């Protein structure tokens, strides 16, 4: 319900030339009777049909824990800029563990920031890429394995079905984040609010506070 509420709080601002003025047909977003997975699928499809790539949509919906990330902050600051840019436009979708996604041309898998679901992947010399919870799920000739690894928290792997190109986590994130000048947009648009000294004790009684909160 929280995920649906966040999406609905944003739906008034849905606007794109892709929809040609038909944004009202997209509202209200989601189905409260459907499962969380079904509503996440709807959110991903909305982003895809608005012109996003599958990897970009997944990075927006299920961002990794990028704050103080040792690799990203040093080697890939543009990825942090991407996450910072969309942090103010899209709340992270809570709940999913392992996500498999495709738009017909690209197929991929990603783990959420907690990484509680095991996911291993391997590529073989005869052109297959497998993703499974563990090694040994499918019988295969080990001599054909040319690449293998595991998805950690917030990590992603994608396969281009037309070219056969397999991209691992950092390559996927770098390609998406380098597509647009997110860092420049952040510098131009971000306003910092100075910290203030909040009052140490309430100035209203509990009943008044509750009414204001509601």
- Residue-wise pLDDT for 130-166, tens only, equals 998 887 888 888 889 898 889 988 899 999 999 989 9
Q: Is 44 exposed, middle or buried (0-12, 13-18, 19+ CB in 10 A)?
A: buried
Please check whether residues 180 and 95 belong to one and the same domain. yes
**Would you state the pLDDT for residue 61?**
92
Residue 171 has pLDDT above 90, yes or no: yes
Please check whether residues 79 and 176 belong to one and the same domain. yes
CA distance 86 to 64: 12
Residue 82 has pLDDT above 90, yes or no: yes
CA distance 205 to 214: 15
* Contact partners, residue 97, CB within 8 Å, separation at least 6: 111, 112, 114, 116, 117
More confident residue, 107 or 27: 107
Classify residue 27: in a domain, yes or no. yes
Classify residue 37: in a domain, yes or no. yes
How confident is residue 95, by pLDDT bands cut at 50, 70 and 90? confident
Classify residue 212: in a domain, yes or no. no
Considering the entire predicted model, what is its pTM? 0.83
Kindly state the tokens that stand for 50. 């608005």
**Would you state the pLDDT for residue 105?**
93
How confident is residue 179, by pLDDT bands cut at 50, 70 and 90? very high
**Would you state the pLDDT for residue 86?**
92
- Per the omega criterion (within 30 degrees of 0), is the bond before 28 cis? yes
Domain count, the chain: 2
Please check whether residues 132 and 178 belong to one and the same domain. yes
Structural domain containing residue 45: 1-51
Q: Which of 149, 167, 163, 53 is nearest to 101 (CA)?
A: 53
Give, for 4, the enclosing helix (H) or strand (E): helix 2-10
Residue 15 has pLDDT above 90, yes or no: no
Classify residue 201: in a domain, yes or no. no
Classify residue 109: in a domain, yes or no. yes
Please check whether residues 11 and 64 belong to one and the same domain. no
Please check whether residues 83 and 135 belong to one and the same domain. yes
**Would you state the pLDDT for residue 112?**
87
State the average pLDDT for the chain.
Answer: 89
Q: Which of 160, 128, 181 is nearest to 55 (CA)?
A: 160
Please check whether residues 29 and 85 belong to one and the same domain. no
Please check whether residues 73 and 42 belong to one and the same domain. no
Kindly state the tokens that stand for 82. 């991407």
Classify residue 207: in a domain, yes or no. no
Please check whether residues 178 and 72 belong to one and the same domain. yes
Residue 173 has pLDDT above 90, yes or no: yes
Classify residue 205: in a domain, yes or no. no
Percent of the chain with pLDDT over 70: 100
Please check whether residues 116 and 173 belong to one and the same domain. yes
């Amino acid at each position: 319900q929280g995920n649906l509420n966040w999406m609905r709080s944003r739906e008034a601002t849905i606007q794109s030339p892709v929809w040609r003025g038909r944004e009202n047909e997209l509202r209200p977003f989601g189905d409260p009777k459907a499962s969380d997975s079904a509503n996440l699928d709807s959110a991903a499809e909305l982003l895809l049909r608005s012109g996003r790539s599958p990897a970009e949509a997944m990075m927006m919906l299920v961002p990794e824990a990028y704050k103080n990330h040792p690799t990203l902050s040093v080697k890939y600051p543009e990825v942090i800029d991407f996450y910072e840019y969309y942090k103010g436009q899209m709340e992270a979708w809570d709940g999913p563990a392992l996500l498999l996604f495709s738009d017909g041309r690209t197929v991929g898998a990603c783990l959420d920031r907690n990484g509680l679901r095991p996911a291993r992947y391997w590529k073989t010399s005869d052109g297959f890429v497998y993703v499974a919870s563990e090694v040994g799920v499918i019988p295969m000739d080990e001599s054909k394995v040319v690449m293998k690894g595991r998805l950690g928290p917030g990590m992603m792997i994608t396969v281009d079905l037309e070219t056969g190109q397999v991209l691992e986590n950092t390559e996927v994130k770098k390609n998406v984040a380098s597509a647009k000048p997110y860092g420049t947009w952040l510098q131009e648009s971000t306003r910092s609010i100075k910290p203030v000294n909040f009052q140490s004790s309430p100035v209203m009684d509990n009943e008044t506070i509750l009414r204001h909160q509601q």
